[in-house]
Amino acid sequence: MEKSKRKKVSIAIPASIVSDTPHLREKTSKVGLIGRTAAIFGIGEIIVYRDEPTANQKAEIDLITTLLRYMETPQYLRKRLFGLKPELRYAGILPPLRTPHHPLGKRASDLKVGEYREGVTIAKTGDGMLVDIGVDKPAVMPKTRLLIGERITVRVASINKQILVNVARIQDIPYYWGYEVTVWNGSFGSLVKSGRFDLKIATSKYGVAFNDVKDKIAERWRRAKHVLVGFGSPTEGLYEIVKREGLDLTEIADFVVNTIPGQCAETVRTEEALLASLAVFNLLGFNV
């Protein structure tokens, strides 16, 4: 789907999504499914919020954000940008995104003029910068001065003896270009009330069956520029999470919906709810 037909959709997930999984390998697998699901459905932003106010969730947040950002980074840039981190011990089991900004071509001869690439600045030249864009020789970005080691998005301008590239704006790329990862240093309730979103959807097994409100959501979705879809934790739903803030979920969210009505399992894990919910929105043409 072309980006011009998209709107920005953010998903909010709790920091405790990995708290019920003891081993780093299984934590990595769980986060991998979340990143892969976000890419499949073209999610623009993954927000990690704090859902246990009395707990120090820094370790969980660092793990989740590091893994998600590592997944989103093209393979050819990962070594330069991440190096060795303990959170990435089992990064080899993370699924590939296979999105347009993760190209498979590794030779300069595979490039095309007008192609977009992610790159990292690796050196300064007399009139610009050298940029690693994942092929067998660096590209030249003239008349630009950036910090070495900075990740940038570029557009191939010419391919002759040198590969010339220019800085590109992601919003100008006409197709999906990955997700960003944001940490919200606050609760879900404060995120919903932040004013960032013009449509706020909370998912809950106690919500209204999606089919009963899909037409109303569709009408709001068409007009919205920035949509938030929120998810609860492995042990607490969003009703319980915002109740600790003295809030009522139905009063702060535009819709509280059950996207898996009639579920036969007592609980649905966050990563399962994420996949099910985004599939429902996508099936009904909500342009996720």
Quote the pLDDT of residue 261: 85
DSSP 126-172: TTEEEEE-SSSS-EEEET----TT-EEEEEEEEESSSEEEEE--GGG
Quote the pLDDT of residue 1: 39
Q: Which of 232, 70, 34 has the alpha carbon at shortest distance from 151?
A: 70
Question: Is 108-169 a domain of CATH 3.40.605.10?
Answer: no
Tell me which of 3-17, 137-151, 187-201 is least confident.
3-17
pLDDT tens-digit readout, 14-36? 999 998 888 999 999 999 999 99
pLDDT tens-digit readout, 71-123? 999 999 999 999 889 999 999 999 999 999 999 888 998 899 999 999 999 99
Quote the pLDDT of residue 285: 75
Q: Give the span between the Cα atoms of 155 and 86, in whole angstroms.
A: 34
Q: Provide mean pLDDT across the span 225-233.
A: 95
Higher pLDDT, 287 or 281: 281
Strand-pairing partners, residue 158, are 164
Q: Which CATH class for the 3-98+187-283 domain?
A: alpha beta
Model pTM score: 0.93
Portions of the chain given CATH number 2.40.50.140: 108-169
Neighbours of 243 (CB within 10 A): 14
Q: Is 246 a residue whose pLDDT tops 70?
A: yes
Tell me if 154 sits within 8 A of 168, measured CB to CB: yes
Portions of the chain given CATH number 3.40.1280.10: 3-98+187-283
Mean pLDDT estimate for the chain: 92
